[in-house]
Amino acid sequence: MEKINENNTSDIESDNGEVEVHEIYNKSNFINGRGARLVRILSEFVGVQDALRDEGIFFTVVVFGSSRSLSQEKYESKKRNLGRKLEKFKEQITNNIAIDEEELKECEKLKKEFRKIRKIKMDRGIL
């Protein structure tokens, strides 16, 4: 039977009744799981650092980026969809049509999302 102890290692009882201790980070179901995502990301940086040091390179500049940013097409599509939805709220307000609390929350959520995607593109110098 396997259990995780307070030292973040797993204890496995062997056939002879002794407890074998294994590091949890060596378990493939842990290291490949969601919980170890940070460990995998960090290992990418440390692995490159070790390779550079092996080549005698000790001073580097690290640039962080994200592969999760929106493409221009997805950005434009999302912007149009948010714009259309916000335009409906604007028409309701302009025409003095009552907006209930739920709609108001939705409108605020849309405005926040619109500002968020706009900021992402401004930060990337696209707007």
Interval 85-102: pLDDT, tens: 888 888 988 898 888 889
- Number of domains composing the chain: 2
pLDDT tens per residue across span 31-47: 888 888 888 888 888 89
41, part of any domain: no
For residue 96, what are the domain limits?
Answer: 72-123
* pTM of the full structure: 0.39
Mean pLDDT of 106-110: 88
Within the chain, strands assigned E span 2-4, 9-13, 19-23
18, part of any domain: yes
**Cβ–Cβ < 8 Å for 67, 57:** no
Mean pLDDT value across the chain: 78
CA distance readout (Å), 74 to 70, 71, 77, 115: 6, 5, 5, 15
Mean pLDDT of 97-115: 87
17, part of any domain: yes
85, part of any domain: yes
Higher pLDDT residue, 18 or 114? 114
103, part of any domain: yes
